[in-house]
Amino acid sequence: MATLNDPYRIEVMSFNLDNITRENVKGLSPYSSARDEYVSDGSTMVFLDANENPFENGVNRYPDPQQRGLKAILAEQKDIEEENILLGNGSDEVLDLLFRAFCEPKEDNIISLPPTYGMYKVLSGINLVENREVLLTNDFQPNVDKILKTIDSNTKLLFICSPNNPTGNSFSTQIIEELLNSFNGLVVIDEAYIDFSSEESWISKLSEHPNLIVTQTLSKAYGMAGIRLGLCMASSEIIAVLNKIKPPYNVNQLTQDKAIERVLDVASVAQEVKDILSEREKLRETLKTVSFVQTIYATDANFILAKVDNANLRYTQLLEKGVVVRNRTTQPLCENTLRFTVGTAEENKSLISALKTLSN
Ligand SMILES: *Cc1c(COP(=O)(O)O)cnc(C)c1O
């Protein structure tokens, strides 16, 4: 068998979805709900198929299991097909589906790149799948050599969070491209913060890379963390596998309605992102004047990671002044760092005034 150090690996290795899908999942057919079997064409029908309460209250009917109305809008906005999208109860559900579809418990492994989003590790624990951690380099980029050496024939998923949480930076396009080309499993690019970034989404590369999965969310730039809506975008083959295992009604009616309203309001979302970005730059400038702030890291997201003299002390002092920030000091490469989410102009003023008082 060819190994990753084999100079001919590009020629001899190729991605094959069937090889990485769990055997039990291959044999499944999706649960067929009443709302799958009869899809309304808009004509007036009498619905006596799903044991629902017939009295109208807005939510007495089961929601569309395929969220067709919402998907049609998202597909158009993102210039992909509906068959390339799976929606979930937050991206956390989408990430969990990936483990359950592709990782055999106690056998397979995944790779994550700390310091990064905590859910990859949590989900690997829940699903009993080994999480192989490969630290980012000191400039917060993926360590390609180490990642390639860590991959073995049981490595199914590689999680790349770009822009990365909690560091804030985007990863180099060439590095991600190299990983996509040399890894035979699935590369999951978590783009939770892409709307704040000047980098282009990897969605446009889906047709070039059969092993690419892009996840996004309405929880950050779209301001809809409370409705729980996550997006998974990939080849129609990958999406078909995930559809076999997703709970039939995983995105509820209220979420679908609210999401449609929000994603259609392109101008409001864009304005809020613009305001957050200009507030972020103001906050960055002010942080430079705070005596105990030592490093302010580059960010492509709606937060700023900064190194301070003593993160535990400053975190507690800010709490006492009524400002809650995230203390990231226990994360690798993040000793004595705090993560500041960019708030409204007024909220940021509260943060700044608290920092200034402590700075004197
Ligand atoms: C906030 C965040 C998410 C969002 O998850 P949801 O379940 O969609 O709210 C996903 N990935 C990263 C890296 C995040 O920081």
Residue ID of nearest Cα to ligand 1 atom 10: 192
Q: Does residue 96's CB lie within 6 angstroms of at least one atom of ligand 1?
A: no
CA of 91 to the centre of ligand 1 (A): 6
Q: How much is the pLDDT for 43?
A: 82
Residue 7 has pLDDT above 60, yes or no: no
Q: Where are the alpha helices (DSSP H) in 154-304?
A: 173-182, 236-245, 253-264, 266-287
Q: Does residue 192's CB lie within 6 angstroms of at least one atom of ligand 1?
A: yes
Question: Quick one: average pLDDT of 17-35?
Answer: 89
Q: How much is the pLDDT for 36?
A: 77
Residue 40 has pLDDT above 80, yes or no: no
Q: Does residue 169's CB lie within 6 angstroms of at least one atom of ligand 1?
A: no
CA of 185 to the centre of ligand 1 (A): 22
Question: Quick one: average pLDDT of 114-136?
Answer: 98
**Ligand 1 atom at minimal distance to the Cα of residue 164:** 13
Residue 2: which pLDDT band, with cuts at 50, 70 and 90? very low
Question: Quick one: average pLDDT of 182-199?
Answer: 97
Residue 3: which pLDDT band, with cuts at 50, 70 and 90? low
Alpha-carbon gap, residue 38 to 15, rounded angstroms:
36
Q: How much is the pLDDT for 44?
A: 86
Question: Quick one: average pLDDT of 284-312?
Answer: 97
Residue 39: which pLDDT band, with cuts at 50, 70 and 90? confident
pLDDT over 90 for what percent of the chain?
A: 91
Domain with CATH 3.40.640.10 in the chain: 12-264
pLDDT in tens, 59-85: 999 999 999 999 999 999 999 999 999
DSSP helix/strand/coil, 308: strand
Q: Does residue 348's CB lie within 6 angstroms of at least one atom of ligand 1?
A: no
Q: How much is the pLDDT for 32?
A: 81
Q: How much is the pLDDT for 10?
A: 47
Domain with CATH 3.90.1150.10 in the chain: 267-359
Residue 264 has pLDDT above 80, yes or no: yes
Q: Which of 261, 270, 252 is nearest to 87 (CA)?
A: 252
CA of 128 to the centre of ligand 1 (A): 21
Q: Does residue 117's CB lie within 6 angstroms of at least one atom of ligand 1?
A: yes
Residue 31: which pLDDT band, with cuts at 50, 70 and 90? confident
pLDDT in tens, 210-242: 999 999 999 999 999 999 999 999 999 999 999
Q: How much is the pLDDT for 299?
A: 98
Q: Among 3.40.350.10, 3.40.640.10, 3.30.70.360, 3.40.50.720, what is the CATH number of 12-264?
A: 3.40.640.10
Mean residue pLDDT of the chain comes to 94
pLDDT over 70 for what percent of the chain?
A: 96
Residue 332: which pLDDT band, with cuts at 50, 70 and 90? very high
Alpha-carbon gap, residue 314 to 293, rounded angstroms:
10
Q: How much is the pLDDT for 12?
A: 45
Length of the chain, please? 360
Residue with tokens 């020629």: 11
Q: Does residue 315's CB lie within 6 angstroms of at least one atom of ligand 1?
A: no
Question: Quick one: average pLDDT of 16-42?
Answer: 86
Q: Which of residues 84 and 38 earns the better pLDDT score? A: 84
Q: Please tell us whether the domain made up of 267-359 is placed in CATH 3.40.50.1100.
A: no
Mutate to test the pocket of ligand 1, among 196, 219, 328, 339 (most ligand atoms within 8 A of CB): 219
Q: Go through 238-254 and write b for each residue having 16 or more CB atoms within 10 A of its CB, e for each that does not.
A: bbebbbbbbebebbbbe
> What is the value of pTM for the model shown?
0.94
Mutate to test the pocket of ligand 1, among 167, 170, 196, 217 (most ligand atoms within 8 A of CB): 217
Question: Quick one: average pLDDT of 291-312?
Answer: 98
Q: Does residue 190's CB lie within 6 angstroms of at least one atom of ligand 1?
A: yes
Q: How much is the pLDDT for 4?
A: 52
Give Cα separations from 264 to 71, 248, 315 (angstroms): 12, 25, 39
Residue 224, both tokens: 């809809």
